[in-house]
Amino acid sequence: MSETPSSIGRVTRCSIRGFAGATQLPETAFPSFGDFCRAEMRPSQTAGKADAADYAVGLIYDLSVQDDELARQLAAADEPTAEQLLDSQLRRSIPVEISALTVGHRVGGAWLAGLPPQPPLTLSRIYLLDGDEVRAFTRDLRFLRHILAADAVSQEDLLEASLQRAALAQPAPARDEFVLRAGRECARRLGHDLPRLEAILERLHEL
């Protein structure tokens, strides 16, 4: 795990199936749709290394920017100056809500594709997974089932974005093999829905 991961927010709402966090970031520092993230859970009482925290692992499926009075003033003005607009877009910290679909967890140092036993802790920090963590978590592609079963999420878009992130985290020679494995996992899960499978495989082909 990265030694100094930077937090992208804190958990404000959570359930077993997902969590939402709030943060204040300049627009340049936003996380992206499809990014893998983690938020700390209550420590496991059954097993695991004492020094490894337990995390719920999520996929970011929505980012919403909340407005405030100053943003509304600028938006309503006839002509904010270029410098004021750039200040708001690049410098000013603005309230952001991050929504993540839970697709797995880490307990006792092991990455697992099942839903976690508990939701993350309220106000625990949310971190993006670094490359090593993404590789470790996506070794088991059964996490894809959570995306394919998710409501209120654009499943195909989230699948494509998350697999793209995961593929980029692989060493270059292993990327094609990873995408092939992902395609097989999708085929196994969507054998009953050939039109949808075909649409997804087309997207994977473009990765």
CB of 2 to another protein, least distance (A): 23
Q: Which is nearer to another protein, 35 or 40 (CB)?
A: 40
Q: How far apart are CA 149 and CA 79, in angstroms?
A: 46
CB of 28 to another protein, least distance (A): 10
CB of 21 to another protein, least distance (A): 17
CB of 51 to another protein, least distance (A): 19
Q: Which is nearer to another protein, 77 or 149 (CB)?
A: 77
Q: Which is nearer to another protein, 79 or 151 (CB)?
A: 79
Structure tokens at 150: 């998710």
Q: Which is nearer to another protein, 50 or 76 (CB)?
A: 76
Q: How far apart are CA 131 and CA 112, in angstroms?
A: 17
Q: How far apart are CA 172 and CA 168, in angstroms?
A: 8
Q: Which residues bind another protein (CB under 8 A)?
A: 70, 73-74, 77, 80-84, 86-87, 89-92
Q: 101 - beta bridge partners?
A: 18, 59
Integer angstrom CA distances of residue 144 from 8, 22, 94, 178, 184: 24, 26, 32, 13, 11
